[in-house]
Structure 1
Amino acid sequence: MKILIKILFIVFLIWSILGVYLINTEHEKAKIVMGLCVLYLSFIFMPIFIYYRYRDGKYKKYIINDDKLRNAFKQQGKG
C-alpha cells in the first residue's frame, strides 16, 4: 500500500508539472490537463492516502471525548 501511494504521488507530480508546462506554452488542452490532475488528486489519491493513514485507528488519540475534557479541567484547576 505504501508503494502504491508513492507511485500515485509521483504520477500526480509528473501530471502537475506537465500541466504547468502546457499552461506556460499556452496549449489549448492545458486547462483540461490541470482539471483532470485536480480530479485525480481529489478522488483517487486523497481517499487512498486517508484510508492508509487512518486504517489502524491512529486517529483516536486526536478525538476529544468526555474523559479527556474532565482530565483537562481537573489539571487546569490544580495549576
Structure 2
Amino acid sequence: MKYLIRILFIAVVILVAVGYYYKNSGDHTNGDKWVGIGILGATFILMPLFIYHRWKNKNVKDYMLTEENIKKMRDFNNKEKSDKN
C-alpha cells in the first residue's frame, strides 16, 4: 500500500509540473487541464488512500477526549511536576 501511495504522489507531482510547464510555454488550456487532473487525483484518490493507510488498525477511542483519557492526562502531568521537584 505504501508503494502505491508513493507512486501516486509522484504521479500527481509530475502531472502538476507538466501542467505548469504547459502554462509557462503559452498553452494555458492544456496546462490548466493537467494541473486540474493532478489536483483531482490528489484529492479523490491519493488522500483517501493515505488516510485509510494511516488509520487502519487504530482505535479511534484513543484519540478522543473521554473522561478516562482526561484523567490519564492529568495523572501524567501531575507525575511530571512531581518528578521535576
Tell me the TM-score normalised to structure 1 length: 0.78
Matched, 1:12 2:9: no
| Structure 1, gaps ≥5 residues long | none
1:25 and 1:58, CA in 2 relative to 1: closer, same or farther beyond 3 A? Answer: farther
Which residue matches 1:31? 32
- Rg (Cα) greater in structure: 2
| Structure 2, gaps ≥5 residues long | none
Which residue matches 1:51? 52
Which segment drifts farther, 15-24 or 43-52? Answer: 15-24
1:8-34 deviation line (CA, Å, top 9, x unaligned): 111111111111111211213211211
Q: Distance in 1 between matches of 2:48 and 2:55?
A: 11
What is the CA RMSD across the aligned residues, in angstroms?
A: 2.2
Whose relative contact order is higher, 1 or 2, with alpha carbons under 8 Å and at least 6 apart? 1
Q: AA paired with 1:37? A: G
Aligned length: 79
Percent identical residues:
32
1:45-73 deviation line (CA, Å, top 9, x unaligned): 11111101101116553322221123334
Q: Distance in 2 between matches of 1:48 and 1:63?
A: 23
Tell me the TM-score normalised to structure 2 length: 0.74
